[in-house]
Amino acid sequence: MKARFRSVTASVLLVAAGMLSASVMAALPLADSQGVAMPTLAPMIEKAAPAVVNISTRGRVRVEDNPLFQDPFFRRFFGAPDMPRERLTQSLGSGVVVDAAKGYVLTNNHVVDKADEITVTLRDGRSLSAKLIGADPEADVAVIQIPAQNLSALPLADSTRLRVGDFVVAIGNPFGLGQTVTSGIVSALGRTGLGIEGYENFIQTDASINPGNSGGALVNLRGELVGVNTAILAPGGGNVGIGFAIPSNMAHDIMRQLVTYGEVKRGQLGVVMQDLTPDLAKAFNIKGQSGAVVAKVLKGSPADKAGLAAGDVVTTVNGNPVRGAADLRNVVGLLRVGEKVALGVLRDGNPHTINVLIAQASQAKVDMGRVQPRLAGATLGMIEEGSPLYGRIEGMVVLDVESGSRAWDAGLRKDDIIQSINRLPVRTVDELKRAVKASERRLLLAVRRGRSGMFLVIQ
């Protein structure tokens, strides 16, 4: 089971002096304890820790009650009490000050999601009200701002220079205990396909991460931010030494867009991609290459206009290597709309460079009440290119369903994928409209929810 986390447990890094290189020894100043020289992380942590903050939030969420309780006759006849339509929520997490002059704090979207009040507590005990600058749910990154008074900020490292085996330290607020430090190494890089976020390129670490550490700092031995702690793999519900952090380069790129636009304006290439496997590489007569295979090019898309074709293998983006389909999706998704990107492509074994003008990813939204009254309250849209389901599942995604509507009472929920209506496929907005208009009595919806499928009937 993959779980988001919001905490950390304590651990100690004890490394024999003889096993450390000169550069690492320089990063671990010696502390004289009882006349014995011992390596310690304390000087680095003392410098970095003031930039890591605790975040607490308060908010309200709508309560999904039984439709019977919305019937006044039922409530009066059975003496049912008035049910609260909202409930208060509270959460704890962590954040990292990355701009002391402007008071910008990086954290996770799920830490501040649906929050009406955000309070930041600094290490010196100050509690400050924060405002949300912007959030990106797809990558689980958010930027909040606090008054810029006597703040400490963490410098950002180039996360592309991380190597498996590098020592790292996680700083955060586990279980609401207060600031806690744990240590470990980089266990793996470029982790994708976990299903945690829409855009994944995680640093994996064995530094202890637990509930409450979300949004906290992963730093190197120079005290530089290399990642924002985000999730853990928790088969038994607790930490097992597999934690994930968003690389600092990715978080910073998203932050710049959130500060500038208040949202991330994701680019669109317009292709369906898959990893270049050894079997595919052999079939394409490609040796010693990694990349992403173009399985399909959408008509009229930027890729189509630039001349990209199915069967092309994308190996580089602006000269940077592409390891697989997820890697390419992440890179394109973080490019700004209107940018030109140079794709290094192998076609029939021959190298080519194809320049593509990135367009904004658009999601057509349909208010179904205007198309079919029985679906009033439901809003549907296309599956976006950044979604893990893009190119794999055909259908329309449910963007929102109003509680108490016919669609809601029938069981339709947000994020469901409607694949057909009355056995007619609904892959586009036009097909969706034709399918619902062709029905006069009832709607039979074939729905995919997670990994399961079901039929729903709306009378």
Residue 56 CA, distance from chain mean position: 20
Pair 156, 261: CB distance under 8 Å: no
User: Active site includes 110?
Assistant: yes
**Which value, to the nearest 10 degrees, does the dihedral of the CA atoms of residues 228, 232, 237, 240 take?**
-120
Cβ atoms < 10 Å from Cβ of 2? 13
Sorted by sequence, the CB contacts under 8 Å of residue 204 that are 6+ apart come out as 186, 187, 188, 189, 191, 242, 243, 244
Distance from C-alpha of 285 to C-alpha of 291, rounded to nearest angstrom:
14
The position carrying tokens 């190494």 is: 185
Residue 391 CA, distance from chain mean position: 19
Distance from C-alpha of 325 to C-alpha of 204, rounded to nearest angstrom:
19
Residue 43 CA, distance from chain mean position: 33
User: In terms of residues, how long is the chain?
Assistant: 459
Pair 204, 186: CB distance under 8 Å: yes
| Tokens standing for residue 160 | 């592309």
Pair 385, 268: CB distance under 8 Å: yes
Identity of the residue numbered 174: P
Which residue among the candidates 214, 248, 387, 420 is catalytic per the annotation? 214
User: Active site includes 214?
Assistant: yes
Quick one: residue 328, left, alpha or beta (phi over 0 = left, psi -120 to 50 = alpha)? alpha
The position carrying tokens 């050894």 is: 278
Which residue among the candidates 140, 253, 312, 416 is catalytic per the annotation? 140
Distance from C-alpha of 79 to C-alpha of 45, rounded to nearest angstrom:
60
User: Active site includes 140?
Assistant: yes
| Tokens standing for residue 245 | 């952090």
Residue 48 CA, distance from chain mean position: 25
Strands (E) across 70-179 are located at 86-99, 104-107, 117-121, 127-136, 141-145, 167-172
The position carrying tokens 């449910």 is: 398
Cβ atoms < 10 Å from Cβ of 27? 18
Query: What would the DSSP string read from start to end of 253-275?
Result: HHHHHHHHHSS---EE--EEEEE
Task: Give CA separation, 125 vs 54, 100, 178, 236, in Å.
Answer: 10, 17, 11, 34
Which residue among the candidates 7, 91, 110, 208 is catalytic per the annotation? 110
Distance from C-alpha of 310 to C-alpha of 86, rounded to nearest angstrom:
50
**Catalytically active residues, by annotation:** 110, 140, 214
